Amino acid sequence: MNALLKSVTIVNGNTTDLHLKKRDILIKNGVIEAIENQIEPTGKIKVIDIKNLHVSLGWFDSGVSFGEPGYEERETIENGLQTAAKSGFTDVVLNTSSHPTPDSASDIVYLKNAGKDQLTTLHPLGNLTVGGEGEVLAELYDMKNAGALGFYDYKHSLANANMLKIALQYAQNFDGMVFSFPLDKSISGKGIVNEGITSTKLGLKGIPALAEELQIARDLFVLEYTGGKLFIPTISTAKSVKLIADAKKKGLQVTCSVAAHNLVITDSALEDFDTHYKVLPPLRTSADIKALQKGVANGTIDLVTTDHTPLNVELKHVEFDNADFGTIGLESTFGMLNELFNVEETIAILTKGRSIFGMEEPLLEVGQKANLSLFTVNDTYEFSKDHIFSSSKNSIAIGKQMKGKVVGAIANNQLVLNA
């Protein structure tokens, strides 16, 4: 793949000499060959000359779900990775949400093979327990050797604290990352939205903030006892932020993420009973949102994830109580974050996190393989179904104002452009 990016603004906080400078970038055979003030195209080359085009290191998402295997009608791995590329993401971590779930080395090999030869690189997770049932530890070491980045029973919390203890102790032998979803089911019960004024007014069963915070507190106590590496995906409350901040001050190896929609949408959006807003963890209060935003800004929250969860239309077009949890998010996350933060903060959020999982960090330098996201920063628009690339259309962002548009991505010697 040969391309010449003309007069692009480089957003790269890692190098002060190029940061926010306009340059031409020449890419040959997928490698950055030159970064200069002016480069003239020669030979057969794709020239990309778009007004106000910006470029950064390729974006990273720590938690996406596709459908394959088992739910291909929701999203195949191929279409999911193409959606990620069109949304600017060059690396994505795949949740264990398929059927069957991946709990062996052969399952990890299958997923990696299904995702090969794509612009966006797929990094699968393996189940923490067999079948995600929380009873028997899965083949963690074998899955790690096969390429699993970590171990996660997707959206299922571990009721058995001893299972978490054993997993953390065992995984230390091979530097494994253990995921623990923050929800105490004995507290949340049959709740479907945040417990509070809105749930009471609408007559919907609530999930107390306590259900998340109690689970996190327990998990952090276990981590302090065992050591090891713990990742807490998609936190959603103010006290969760404080619990994790305190644990980090103690020196515990704990990292966490927040879903992009939990940073911008409150539970007041539920008043129309729109099932697009039914997500897990649930949408919380404005006070929670402020604490989450502050946690992202000060680094307590390590990652912002799209929490991309495609679902069949019939799983959402039902009564609110019966609808499944989840929203797609790959296509809308950049526009959401860029509306909330300035462009430098937004790109810092989207490009960080690979090192948490032991992945190699790309570099925006001459001689390095091109791993780049292309975007504009000032275009404003209302997000609609026309902006969705996914097979499923269950987006919480429909009707929301966005700032900035993704133009495409370059990685693995491939180029994808939306324009």
Half-sphere exposure of residue 40: CA atoms within 13 angstroms, side-chain side: 1
Residue 43 pLDDT level (bands cut at 50, 70, 90): confident
**Structure confidence at residue 42 (pLDDT):** 87
Separation between Cα atoms, residue 307 and residue 293, nearest integer Å: 17
- Judge whether 367 and 398 are in contact, CB under 8 Å: no
Q: According to the model, what pLDDT value does residue 98 have? A: 96
- What is the set of active-site residues? 307
- Kindly tell me if the per-residue pLDDT of 155 is higher than 70: yes
Confidence category of residue 293, pLDDT binned at 50, 70, 90? very high
- Over residues 105-123, the mean pLDDT reads 98
Q: What is the pLDDT of residues 370-397, one digit of tens each?
A: 999 999 999 999 999 999 999 999 999 9
* Number of residues that this document lists for the chain: 419
Closest of 299, 411, 357 to residue 56, by C-alpha: 411
The fraction of the chain above a pLDDT of 70, given in percent, is: 100
Per-residue pLDDT band for 174 (boundaries 50, 70, 90) equals very high
C-beta separation of 379 from 317 below 8 A: no
Amino acid (one-letter) located at 249: K
Would the pLDDT of 219 be above 90? yes
Tokens of 79: 């279409």
Give the residue-averaged pLDDT of 259-284.
98
- How far is it, in rounded angstroms, from Cα 363 to Cα 343? 19
Mean pLDDT of 107-127: 98
Q: State the chain's maximal CA–CA distance in angstroms.
A: 66
306-334: per-residue pLDDT in tens? 999 999 999 999 999 999 999 999 999 99
Domains with residue ranges and CATH for the chain: 3-55+365-392+402-417 (2.30.40.10), 59-357 (3.20.20.140)
What is the pLDDT at residue 60? 98
Percent of the chain with pLDDT over 90: 98
Q: Is the pLDDT of residue 237 over 90?
A: yes
pLDDT digits (tens, 9 = 90+) for 17-40: 899 999 999 999 999 999 999 999
Side-chain-side CA neighbours of residue 21 (13 Å):
15
Segment 127-138 shows an average pLDDT of: 96
pLDDT band at 419; cut points 50, 70, 90: low
Please list the helix, strand and coil fractions of the chain in percent, rounded to the nearest 5, in that order. Answer: 35, 20, 45
Task: Provide the pLDDT for residue 274.
Answer: 97
Distance, in Å, from the CA atom of 406 to the CA atom of 338, rounded to the nearest integer, reads 11
User: How many angstroms separate the CA atoms of 256 and 230, rounded?
Assistant: 8
Nearest to 363 by CA among 32, 20, 107: 32
Find, among 14, 19, 95, 60, the residue nearest to 411 by Cα.
60
Residue 412 CA, chain-centre distance (Å), reads: 20
For strands 406-411 and 414-417, give the pairing: antiparallel
As to burial, measured by CB atoms within 10 angstroms (0-12 exposed, 13-18 middle, 19+ buried), residue 235 is: buried
Please give the distance of CA 112 from its chain centroid, rounded to a whole number. 18
Please report the pLDDT score of residue 17 as a whole number.
Answer: 84
- Asked if 195 and 209 count as a contact pair (C-beta separation under 8 A), the reply is yes
Question: pLDDT-derived band of residue 299, with 50, 70 and 90 as boundaries?
Answer: very high
Residue 402's SS3 state is strand
**Contact yes or no for 411/120 (Cβ under 8 A):** yes
Average pLDDT over residues 232-258: 98
Is the Cα torsion angle 48, 53, 56, 62 positive or negative in sign? negative
Q: With residue 135 as reference, give the H or E element that holds it.
A: none
Whole-prediction pTM value? 0.97
pLDDT for 86 beyond 80: yes
Give the position of tokens 């049959």.
190
SS3 at position 194: strand
Rounded CA gap, 107 and 155, in Å?
A: 19
Residue 337: pLDDT band (50, 70, 90) is very high
Q: How confident is the model at residue 13 (pLDDT cuts 50, 70, 90)?
A: confident
